[in-house]
Amino acid sequence: MEKVITCIVQRGKGEKVVKGAIDAGAQGATVFYARGTGVRQKLGLLGGLITPEKEVVIVVTQEDKADGIFKAMVLAGELEKPGKGFAFIQTVEKSVGFLSKK
């Protein structure tokens, strides 16, 4: 079964996250631009330091590679630092077109 890793980072940081994922064994990634809301408003004055423009990186991978790729993406995006981004893993129930090596 495949896993999908979604990583939301500050604009301009997506390429670094993609490189980390590929170096860790991902076959590829999809990147698109987004605009974040909510956190900036809740932080008040400090929210001005967080830019709303984001890059979303999506990687679909085999279950056995997911943890290693996830860790590499978190490291590349510096997601352990507050305000740098967010990442999560989901299970893919059905897929078509995914090139897996069996």
pLDDT at 64: 95
Per-residue confidence band for 96, with pLDDT thresholds at 50, 70 and 90: confident
Among 3, 5, 25, CA closest to 87: 5
Mean pLDDT for the chain? 87
Please write the tens of the pLDDT for every residue from 57-66.
999 999 999 9
Per-residue confidence band for 50, with pLDDT thresholds at 50, 70 and 90: low
The answer to whether the beta carbons of residues 69 and 26 sit under 8 Å apart is: yes
pLDDT at 19: 98
The answer to whether the beta carbons of residues 7 and 57 sit under 8 Å apart is: yes
Among 3, 1, 35, 5, CA closest to 17: 5
Terminal Cα-to-Cα distance of the chain (whole angstroms): 12
CATH T-level fold of 2-91: Alpha-Beta Plaits (3.30.70)
pLDDT at 26: 96
Please write the tens of the pLDDT for every residue from 65-93.
999 999 999 999 999 988 789 999 999 99
Among 13, 9, 22, CA closest to 61: 22
> Residues 32-63, buried b or exposed e (16+ Cβ, 10 A)?
eeeebeeebeeeeeeeeeeeeebbbbebbbbe
pLDDT at 23: 97
Domain boundaries, the chain: 2-91
Residue 2 DSSP label: E
Higher pLDDT, 12 or 95: 12
